[in-house]
Amino acid sequence: MRVFRLLQLAAQAEGLRWKRMGRGYAIQAALGAGAAAFALMLLVMLHVAALIWLAEGRSGVSAALILAVFDLVIVVVLGWLASRPGADPVALGAARVRDDALRQLGDQAARAAMVAPLLRSQTAKKGLVGAAVTAAVVGLLARR
C-alpha cells in the first residue's frame, strides 16, 4: 500500500511542478509581449519624430524624442524582466518531494526484491543464500 501512496505523492508533486513552471512561462511571455508592444511604439515614435523633423523645425522633434527615449527605457526594463529565469520556490519544493518519493519507492522495491527469494524458495537455506545475493546486488546498484 505504501508503494501506491509514494507513486501518488510523486505524481502530485510532478503535477504541481509542471503547473508552476507553466505559470512562470506565461508571465515571461506576457512581459515579452509588453516589451514588444513598447518596441513597436518606439519605432512609431521614431518615425513620427523623423517626419516632424523633416516637415518643420526642431520644436516637435524634441518632444517626440523624449517620448521615444521613455519608450526605450520601458522596452529595456520589460525585456530584462522577461529574460530572467525566475526560480519558483514551490516548483523546486515539488521537485524535491517527487525525488524523495521516487527514492523511497526504489527503497521499497529493493526490500521487496530481498524478501522475494525467501518466499519462493523450497528450503530456507536456498532462500537465505538468494536473499544475500540479491541484497548484495541491490546494494551495489544503489551506490551508483
CA quadruple 117, 120, 125, 126: dihedral positive or negative? negative
| pLDDT at 143 (0 to 100) | 58
Which domain, by its residues, includes 127? 2-143
pLDDT band of residue 27 (cuts 50, 70, 90) is very high
Task: Name the grid cell of 29.
Answer: 511571455
List, in order, residues 6 or more apart from 49 with CB less than 8 Å away: 60, 61, 64, 65, 68
Give percent above pLDDT 70 in the chain.
Answer: 70
Radius of gyration of the chain (CA): 31
pLDDT band of residue 30 (cuts 50, 70, 90) is very high
Which residue from 66, 65, 78 is spatially nearest to 38, judged by alpha carbons? 78
pTM of the full structure? 0.39
Which residue from 13, 1, 20, 16 is spatially nearest to 101, judged by alpha carbons? 13
DSSP letter at 56?
A: S
Count: domains in the chain: 1
Task: Name the grid cell of 31.
Answer: 512581459
How many helices (H) and strands (E) would you count in the chain? 4, 0
